[in-house]
């Protein structure tokens, strides 16, 4: 195994694990939406579909990266690793764009912060 393959394997395992943990954390935060009395705001309703999409993308990309990282008998294809990393970057960029542009500017919803 070359040095590049070793670095790619470590990066794939770390990136895949991070993506799966992020998907679990965001999915758990979706489950905890709302107030204790059961009221869910319009902002909370609007955030659920994009955050679920982020969870799915992160879980798929994380699983692919973990599989690339643990397969010792086959070298990691650089193209496959780049595609998986780009998929993961797209998931995180979508998460940021959805929170900023879609919810705040397109739907004109605030995060509920008052003053």
Sequential DSSP letters for 44-79: HHHHHHHHHHHHHHHHHHHHHHHHHHH--SSPPPHH
Residue 53 has what pLDDT?
Answer: 84
Residue 113 has what pLDDT?
Answer: 59
Quote the CA–CA distance of 30 and 105 in Å, as a whole number: 21
* Domain limits for position 72: 3-106
Residue 88 has what pLDDT?
Answer: 74
In a domain, 115, yes or no: no
Residue 93 has what pLDDT?
Answer: 80
In a domain, 87, yes or no: yes
- Asked whether 40 and 34 are in contact (CB, 8 A), the reply is yes
In a domain, 82, yes or no: yes
Quote the CA–CA distance of 94 and 5 in Å, as a whole number: 29
Place of tokens 């993961």: 88
Number of domains in the chain: 1
- Asked whether 69 and 12 are in contact (CB, 8 A), the reply is yes
- Asked whether 15 and 65 are in contact (CB, 8 A), the reply is yes
Q: Which residue positions in the chain have pLDDT lower than 70?
A: 1, 76, 99, 110-115
Residue 115 has what pLDDT?
Answer: 44
Residue 111 has what pLDDT?
Answer: 63
In a domain, 113, yes or no: no
Residue 24 has what pLDDT?
Answer: 94
In a domain, 55, yes or no: yes
Secondary structure class of 112 (helix, strand, coil): coil
């Amino acid at each position: 195994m070359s040095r590049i393959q070793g670095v790619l394997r470590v990066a794939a395992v770390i990136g895949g694990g991070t993506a799966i943990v992020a998907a679990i954390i965001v999915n758990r935060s979706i489950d905890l939406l709302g107030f204790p009395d059961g009221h869910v705001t319009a902002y909370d309703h609007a955030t659920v579909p994009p955050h679920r999409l982020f969870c799915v993308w992160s879980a798929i990309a994380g699983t692919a990266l973990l599989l690339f990282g643990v397969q010792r008998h086959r070298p990691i294809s650089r193209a496959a690793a780049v595609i998986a990393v780009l998929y993961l970057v797209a998931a995180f960029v979508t998460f940021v764009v959805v929170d900023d542009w879609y919810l705040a500017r397109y739907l004109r919803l605030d995060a509920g912060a008052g003053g």
